[in-house]
Amino acid sequence: MKKILKFLYTMLALVVVTGCTKEIELYDGEEGIYFNVQYGPEWGNERVWANQQLSNVEFINIAGNTDTLQLKVMTTGRTKDYDRHFQVEIVMDSTTAIEGENYERLSSRYTVKAGDYFTYIPVVLNRTENIQDEAKSMLIRLIPSEDFKIGIPVWKKLPNQWDGVIKGDFPADCHKVVITDFVSKPIRWIGLANDGLEAGLWGDFTQKKYRLICEQFGLVYSDFMSTTAMPDAKRTVIREHMARLLQDLYNKKTPILEEDGRLMWFMGVTWTSRVGVPWKGF
């Protein structure tokens, strides 16, 4: 029995020493930075999610008009007992997004706090009309500093890691953000236009009408895609609220018009609306 216990203690000591050695090796080498952005299905985690070179921000699935994307930046080399800093730049010849419109100006400096081995770059993005029909993108690149070099030049797929949005190797010092707000008629939209004349609870689908419903009820696109999220009773409540809202604005002589100039319509308002026929006014 004593021999067995001695053997087990010896093996445990070897495991501890080996583990410590591996941990130390992770912090050896030059101090560097690299993007370590990971995401994937909810049933995964950072141990299996792929490192991503691209983040798609779809405002169609976001409530509100702004969103903050947090881009994780990791360090190589040993941690330090003092703050360290680095900068980033927008690669303009690979960027179509507009500063101050699609995204807010990035900070002039980012900090890895003392004792930490990672930080985040918050990127504030805006819902704008110019992403409703065309995607806008921005390419962000890390800049070496006195504190950091580029820690990993190229990301390669790691063992047991799932596939990323884009397969293959990619530079670890750059990350691309693509912003869209594309809308098509959702499954649970209830309404149509008969020979151009709007009918049904909600009438003909338009982006403007859809976005007004989302604004009034705090909804996103997925809320219109199933009977669970959008039961018939909820569709009726939306119809009643929107008809009252439009009627009140009409009575105040500040009606809401569709892009073709016709009055926005829901069942219950006092007017009819035909697609392509502008309202003639009071």
Tens digits of residue pLDDT in 46-67: 889 999 999 999 999 998 899 9
CB-count burial class (<10 Å; 0-12, 13-18, 19+) for 93: exposed
At 267, the pLDDT band (50, 70, 90 cuts) reads very high
User: How far is the C-alpha of 55 from the C-alpha of 69, rounded, in Å?
Assistant: 9
pLDDT at 41: 82
> Is the separation of the CB atoms in 186 and 225 below 8 Å?
yes
Whether the predicted pLDDT of 130 surpasses 80 = yes
23 has pLDDT over 50: no
pLDDT at 77 over 50: yes
Q: Quick: pLDDT tens for 183-203.
A: 999 999 999 998 899 999 999
| Residue 157 confidence (pLDDT) | 84
The per-residue pLDDT of the chain, averaged, comes to 89
Average pLDDT over residues 106-115: 96
**What Cα–Cα distance (Å) separates residue 46 from each residue in 50, 100, 153, 282?**
8, 32, 20, 60
- Count the Cβ atoms, other than its own, within 10 Å of residue 111: 13
- Residues sharing a CB contact under 8 Å with residue 122, sequence separation 6 or more, in sequence order: 68, 69, 70, 71
Average pLDDT on 201-214 reads 96
CB atoms within 10 A of CB 129: 9
- Scored b (16 or more CB within 10 A) or e, 239-263 reads beebbebbbeebeeeebeebeeebb
CA proximity to 189, closest of 226, 240, 244: 226
Q: What is the mean pLDDT of residues 84-91?
A: 97
Q: What is the pLDDT of residues 2-17, one digit of tens each?
A: 333 333 333 333 333 3
249: Cβ contacts below 8 Å, ≥ 6 apart: 255, 256
Residue 28's pLDDT is: 53
The helix (H) or strand (E) run that includes residue 257 is none
pLDDT given for residue 42 in this prediction: 83
Q: What is the pLDDT of residue 29?
A: 63
pLDDT at 178: 97
Q: For residues 243 and 170, what is the distance between their CA atoms, to the nearest angstrom?
A: 52
What confidence score (pLDDT) does residue 163 get? Answer: 83
Instruction: Note the pLDDT of residue 12.
Output: 35
What distance in Å separates the CA atoms of residue 241 and residue 165, rounded to the nearest whole number? 40
3-state secondary structure of 236: helix
